[in-house]
Structure 1
Amino acid sequence: MTRARVSLNLRFASHYRATSNTSSQSSLCFWLLLLLLHFSRSASSRATAAKVSAFIVFGDSTVDTGNNNFIPTIARANFPPYGRDFNGGVATGRFSNGRLVTDFISQAFGLPSTLPAYLDPSSTIDQLAKGVTFASGATGLDDLTAKFTSVIPLSQQLEYFEEYKARLEAAKGESVAKEIIAEAVYIFSIGTNDFILNYFTLPVRPVQYTPAEYVSYLVSLAEAAARDAYHLGARKFGLSGLPPFGCLPLSRTRNHREPGECNEEYNQLAMRFNAELQDTVTKLNGDLAGVLVVYIDIYSVLSDIVANPSDYGFENVAQGCCGTGLIETAVLCGLDEPLTCQDVDKYVFFDSAHPSEQLYRILADKILKSTAGAFL
């Protein structure tokens, strides 16, 4: 081999070693960077998941997953056609054909896809630690509303929450229980029955309050309930406004001035309630240390769906899927099971007062995009 060729080979080998070392260092840096990104993302995911430890719900039939099954009341939904599209076609006590809005939101938070009812004896404390509903169909903010149908008043739901907290401490230890309670999201979905089943049906409250005064009275009860939960350790709240309940099929049927049309008097009261509730949300955020309270807007979403049903895939907004769709709910819906519609996804309401699973799915998606991100 010539001297020039040897020199060339030596220079090539020297260049190869230098390049190889640089390449190895670059490769090592690359894999270290990937590793750091992996752990960073894992830690971020764990932190995000940890921000919502459980989903805890208070309210009425819109969020009752079966508590009424275990109390002596006719306000139940544990029979067909309720639950026809739930897992296995089981009527769980949910006033719908399938899951509720809170089930969908819980799943989106990485928590259970179906929330257990607190009074269900089959629910273990490990299940309840990730989410639970204390809600009761046909109840209201006003305890008189609950008495009318013998269901669980909001005041009792808060007592159950206090009991739940003690059960958590016994099972998980005080520090773990305290963390679960503090990092949980609390939803209050309640108020419609106070008007439909109480104020516009019973003679007591109209004598005591004008409609506007009754709205203010109800909002004061919602504020008191949130403060009670806060003193028990709750810190993250979602207070749901009222829907345009004048457009429920039941309300349309009872609208004697314009039969079949939305009852605008009812809707005006819903809007007034919502405006005052938003003021209360601002007040709570200012008064309570370490609290996060958000207003959940149901009214505008449902109003748009009622006005533009085809945009959301619906065909019928004025009738429920069950029975004639005009008056049936709870036990009356069960009596008319043979008349239940075939394609429930075309209906905004499953019975004359409660949304279909498809509407709940849409509402959950809207809430997650507009409000729920505040808790993450």
Structure 2
Amino acid sequence: MSTQSFCYRLLLLIVHFALSSSRASTGNVSAIIVFGDSTVDTGNNNFIPTIAKANFPPYGCDFDGGVATGRFSNGRLVTDFVSEMFGLPSSVPAYLDTDYTIDQLTTGLSFASAGAGLDDFTAKFTTAISLSQQLDYFKEYIQRLKLAKGESVANEIIAEALYVFSIGTNDFTLNYLVLPLRRAQYTTLEFVTYLIGLADAAVRDAYHLGARKIEFTGLGPFGCLPAVRTLNLDEPGCCNKEYNQLAMSFNAELQDAVRKLNGDLVGAHVVYADTYNVLSAIITNPSDYGFEENVAQGCCGTGRIETSVFCGLGEPLTCPDPNKYLFFDSAHPSERACKIIADEIINTALLVFL
């Protein structure tokens, strides 16, 4: 065989495997279905009576068309990037947005609500859509899907979808560490265990409704959120080490729960996605990740305390380049940070589903 012929055949082989890999990547996950809080709310809170909204400038300044969709960021969220990486649409629709038809929701949707927690009491306090209500919406979605596509097609979509849970931080920052009720009932470690039980139950509920490919995102170092740094009276401007220890305790128990779920749920594959370490690495060495500005402050307003409506009030003070910042507001990552987190999750926890 001539060298030219060999190179031609090798090129064909490479193209064949590339195309096969692409087809497998897009075919292995039919849709992305999301439960959670403001980290993955793509606009559901626009349609409920709550002040936890992000449907006004400067939110969305780097989203397609510069539209404030209700995402708590300057652009897309982690789940938007994950959807695109699986060959699905580049943004995940909000379930309550009636501009989307059921046909458009067949490749993915988010039930998430800013202010929600694993504990339904967290959502009551913030007037968000509770996790149990999100699961009820999922039941409603299944019925809508069956009416539109037929039971067989709907069941296939549900079985082959990737289910993402991104929730839990609010249970600490807006509930346990602020309000007295749960602190009167539980020690901190008991509360962690209580939340893990709720996480376990939510995954089992989704499983009984047809979910088989499930990712549960661990908590990030929420003690390093700009708002938490601002309120850290013991060490102003510094990360709250006690809060970060709570996040690590939760993550350790969550990983144990994931292992148990995999043993209990026949045919399911549940994975744990680590965000704590990647965010900690960025905070420790921001220049390694291309962040030129202070990772202790957000882009919006002063960067120390503003989020949601307070970002709107401080719009004239918003930084000129949000993607130089780890955080867009005092609690939520910038679009660039979301892309880095999504890349990490795809290359670790979600690799099994590609």
Tell me the TM-score normalised to structure 1 length: 0.89
Matches within 5 A, 1:234-313: 234-313=211-290
Matches within 5 A, 1:71-150: 71-150=48-127
Q: 2:317 aligns with which of 335, 339, 345?
A: 339
Which residue does the alignment assign to 1:326?
A: 304
Q: 1:57 aligns with which of 34, 53, 56?
A: 34
Q: Distance in 2 between matches of 1:39 and 1:313?
A: 35
Q: Distance in 2 between matches of 1:87 and 1:222?
A: 33
- How much has 1:258 moved relative to structure 2? 0.5
Counterpart secondary structure, 2:347:
helix
- Which stretch of the first structure deviates more once superposed, 30-39 or 240-249? 30-39
Aligned letter for 1:228? D
Which residue does the alignment assign to 1:224?
A: 201
**Would you say 1:354 and 2:305 are equivalent positions?**
no
Q: Distance in 2 between matches of 1:154 and 1:316?
A: 34
Which residue does the alignment assign to 2:192?
A: 215
Q: Distance in 1 between matches of 2:14 and 2:300?
A: 53
Name stretches of at least 5 consecutive residues in structure 2 with no aligned partner.
none
- How much has 1:329 moved relative to structure 2? 0.4
- Which stretch of the first structure deviates more once superposed, 338-347 or 181-190? 338-347
Larger radius of gyration: 1
Name stretches of at least 5 consecutive residues in structure 1 with no aligned partner.
1-21
Aligned length: 351
Counterpart secondary structure, 2:295:
strand
Q: Distance in 1 between matches of 2:115 and 2:92?
A: 19
- Which stretch of the first structure deviates more once superposed, 340-349 or 186-195? 340-349
RMSD of the TM alignment (CA)? 2.1
Counterpart secondary structure, 2:296:
strand
What CA deviation, in whole Å up to 9, does each residue of 1:63-111 have, x standing for no partner? 0000000000000000000001111110000000000010001000000
List structure 1 segments (4+ residues) > 3 angstroms apart after TM superposition: 30-48
Aligned letter for 2:152? S
- How much has 1:37 moved relative to structure 2? 9.0
What CA deviation, in whole Å up to 9, does each residue of 1:142-185 have, x standing for no partner? 00110111110000000000110111111011010000000000
What CA deviation, in whole Å up to 9, does each residue of 1:249-296 have, x standing for no partner? 011011111010000010000000000000001000000100101100
Q: Distance in 1 between matches of 2:14 and 2:65?
A: 42
- How much has 1:49 moved relative to structure 2? 2.3
- How much has 1:48 moved relative to structure 2? 3.8
Q: Distance in 2 between matches of 1:178 and 1:36?
A: 35
- Structure-2 change in CA distance of 1:42 and 1:193 (3 Å): same
Tell me the TM-score normalised to structure 2 length: 0.95
Q: Distance in 2 between matches of 1:265 and 1:35?
A: 56
Aligned letter for 1:187? V
